[in-house]
Amino acid sequence: MLESEFVFKVLVVGPREEVKDRFLLSMGPDSYFLECFKSIVGVSLQVNVVRVKGRTVKVQIWDVYDSPPFKAMFHHYSKGAYGALVVLTKRIEGEAPKYIEEIYKYCGEIPVLIIIVEERSPEEIAQEYGESVIEEPLESLKIISERIFDRKIEPVYLRLSYTTLPSYAQLLSQRRLENLTNLPVNVSLIKEILESMGFKAENDEVVLKDERAIYTVDLKTGDVYVGPIQCENCDKDCVKREKLCIVLATSGWSSSPDISQADLLVISKVYAIANNELPPDVREKIKEIVNCPHTDLKKPKSAKRRKRTSRRRGEFRI
């Protein structure tokens, strides 16, 4: 990726995840993606480089999941944003003021573009809206960057034809990843986010339990330790507590000192354990760790009763 003179953090919000995904995946060959965290902590990350007014700008996109369970974390993800894109369909265009108000509440008055995606052809939309039409999503990044430079905060409405967005099959093949150095974890911020999600953190750790195991997540290092829950009330001295390896399939990047990729990974581990969303290989490893070598010894032996017979008076006794 090109070296950039400026770095802008831009939020992307909107209720239709499918529309947002295709919109962002259509940014062109210079897009770099990180493993999606939407289903875990409510955000997906992307990097683009654009040329604006003769300057090279790296746009760090925070695609925020518009779902009730993650609303409590929006103010964390919005910190440090220079601009925002609100991606809506024509049918829900009237919801734009609600999103603008929320952005202003947490980010202050920053430049906002409202992208209305319509089913009509580009020609039909252009005939009605003229210069307010964009031909491709990448134009929106150039426009928002220009407005950030010019400090123009008035919301602007732009139109885009849904027919210009390629299919998922075409788009996913274009994904590329940028390797950037992770920032150290911010333990206090991680605690705040986890507590807003309903998790209790004590001594820089989160302890979780299920019917089989006890999990301890170290918030300072991100390490996860697991041990059999049955060992709590066992008189044997073979207690096992092993480190569980949970890593990302790809390297990530950090867009601000507020929430780094490393912070997101720690939060993701807690959420994945609590909601039983661990990968199959990790679940198999947990089975190995919690397997008790004394299980057979703990089973009570069934008493064998001897059958006794008596021919006296024709009786048959057991």
Strands (E), the chain: 6-13, 31-33, 43-52, 55-64, 83-89, 112-118, 156-161, 205-209, 213-218, 224-228, 242-244
pLDDT of 1 reads 43
Q: How far apart are CA 181 and CA 194, in angstroms?
A: 24
pLDDT of 210 reads 86
Nearest Cα residue to 183 out of 257, 248, 267: 257
How confident is the chain (318 residues) per 10-residue block, as mean pLDDT? 73 86 77 59 82 89 80 82 94 93 93 94 90 91 94 94 75 48 68 87 90 88 84 63 66 50 81 82 80 56 48 41
pLDDT of 158 reads 96
DSSP-assigned states of every residue in 232-282: GG---S----EEE----SS----S-SSS-HHHHHHHHHHHHHHTT---HHH
| Tens-digit pLDDT profile for residues 28-60 | 666 666 555 565 567 788 888 888 988 889 898
Q: How far apart are CA 89 and CA 161, in angstroms?
A: 10
* Comma-separated ranges of CATH 3.40.50.300 domains in the chain: 6-172
**DSSP, res 103:** H
Nearest Cα residue to 120 out of 168, 169, 159, 158: 159
pLDDT of 81 reads 93
And the tokens for 214?
Answer: 């006890």
pLDDT of 54 reads 87
pTM of the full structure: 0.57
Residues 182 and 261 sit within 8 Å (Cβ to Cβ) = yes
CATH for the 6-172 domain, from 3.40.50.980, 3.40.50.300, 3.50.50.60, 3.40.640.10: 3.40.50.300
Number of CB atoms found within 10 A of residue 183's CB: 17
| Tens-digit pLDDT profile for residues 246-290 | 755 444 444 445 666 677 788 888 888 888 877 777 788 888 887
And the tokens for 265?
Answer: 């990974």
And the tokens for 228?
Answer: 């059999």
Residues 110 and 153 sit within 8 Å (Cβ to Cβ) = yes
From the number of C-beta atoms within 10 Å of its C-beta (0-12, 13-18, 19+), residue 146 rates as middle
pLDDT of 64 reads 87
**Residue listed under structure tokens 């991680």:** 190
